[in-house]
């Protein structure tokens, strides 16, 4: 694949991120805004765990450098990003800083004993469910035959369903960990629960309420004439529990390592890095 085709592919598949949510004379919000917020949210955690000094300052510099990189790529005629206005770039930086401040605030809450293991686990679930649902729904481009369920950019109906499903997967995983020591049994039970719930929801949506996903010209059922979509959709649906749990444990352990520097007693967390097998435990 030539460079021009790669750039066109990236540009085409990121069009949904440029849909304007709100703007006025000072601020400009599109779906890229959420990407910048998440970047600001996770940057200090990564930098701190890498033992980088002056995390707050370095994070701000990186957020600004990203905007400069965007401008540079456009100037060099690499058509990856659309040209942005000054207020768009300023909003992106400010939103990224807001995400940065939110994470730094966790440090102070942890040092005062306000962040318990349960609270931290809930934060990790929320971040993972939001991030994966946002990226999957946005890039797949969900569209339904019922017009009221559609909107420009990110399909909020599909996002809400996937966010709920992924948060639920994390909750079930935590519950099953207290019941099964064997990982194979644990994930087998998790997949059974996920599959039954998925098929029930798909049956109700497709046959009872007549809601069909119609964004793609070619669509196949995965099983029992349910879960209509492309092969990419089918692969994603099959792998969702594993993807969600892997990233949930990764985010949770990364946050634990970050916050344990300030309040090990409250969190009761060993200050050590986890292997891939540990992430699935």
Q: DSSP characters for the chain?
A: --HHHHHHHHHHHTGGGG-EEEE-SS-EEETHHHHHHHHHHHHHHHHHHTT-SSHHHHHHHHHHHHHHHHHHHHHTT-TTS----HHHHHHHHHHHHHHHHHHHHHHHHHHTT---HHHHHHHHHHHHHHHHHHHHHHHHT--BSSGGG--SSS-HHHHHHHHHHHHHHHHHHHHHHTT---HHHHHHHHHHHHHHHHHHHHHIIIIIS---B-SSSS-EEEETTEEEE-HHHHHHHHHHHHHHHHHHHHHHHHHHHHHTTT-HHHHT---SPPPHHHHT-
Domain residue extents for the chain: 1-111, 114-281
Tens digits of pLDDT across the chain (281 residues): 565 666 666 667 788 898 888 888 888 899 999 999 998 888 888 888 788 888 888 888 988 888 887 777 666 555 566 666 778 888 888 999 999 888 878 777 777 677 778 888 999 999 999 999 999 999 999 999 999 999 988 999 999 999 999 999 999 999 999 999 899 999 999 999 999 999 999 999 999 999 999 998 888 899 999 999 999 999 999 999 999 999 999 999 888 877 776 554 444 444 444 454 554 55
pTM of the model: 0.84
């Amino acid at each position: 694949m030539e460079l021009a085709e790669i750039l066109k592919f990236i540009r085409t598949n990121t069009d949904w991120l440029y849909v304007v949510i709100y703007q006025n004379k000072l601020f400009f919000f599109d779906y890229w805004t959420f990407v910048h917020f998440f970047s600001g949210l996770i940057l200090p955690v990564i930098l701190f765990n890498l033992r980088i000094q002056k995390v707050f300052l370095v994070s701000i510099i990186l957020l600004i450098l990203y905007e400069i990189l965007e401008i540079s790529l456009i100037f060099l005629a690499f058509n990856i990003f659309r040209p942005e206005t000054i207020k768009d770039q300023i909003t992106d930086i400010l939103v990224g800083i807001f995400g940065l401040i939110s994470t730094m605030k966790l440090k102070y809450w942890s040092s005062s004993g306000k962040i318990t293991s349960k609270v931290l686990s809930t934060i990790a679930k929320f971040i993972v469910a939001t991030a994966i649902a946002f990226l999957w729904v946005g890039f797949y481009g969900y569209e339904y035959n019922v017009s009221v369920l559609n909107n420009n950019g990110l399909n909020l109906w599909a996002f809400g369903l996937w966010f709920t499903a992924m948060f639920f997967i994390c909750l079930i995983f935590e519950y099953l960990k207290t019941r099964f020591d064997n990982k194979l049994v644990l994930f087998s039970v998790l997949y059974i629960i996920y599959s039954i719930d998925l098929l029930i929801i798909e049956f109700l949506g497709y046959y009872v309420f007549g809601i069909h996903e119609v964004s793609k010209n070619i669509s196949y059922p995965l099983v029992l004439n349910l879960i209509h979509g492309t092969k990419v959709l089918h692969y994603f649906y099959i792998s969702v529990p594993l993807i969600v749990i892997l990233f949930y444990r990764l985010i949770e352990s990364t946050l634990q390592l970050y916050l344990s520097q300030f309040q090990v007693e409250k969190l009761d967390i060993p200050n050590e890095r986890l292997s891939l097998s540990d992430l699935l435990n």
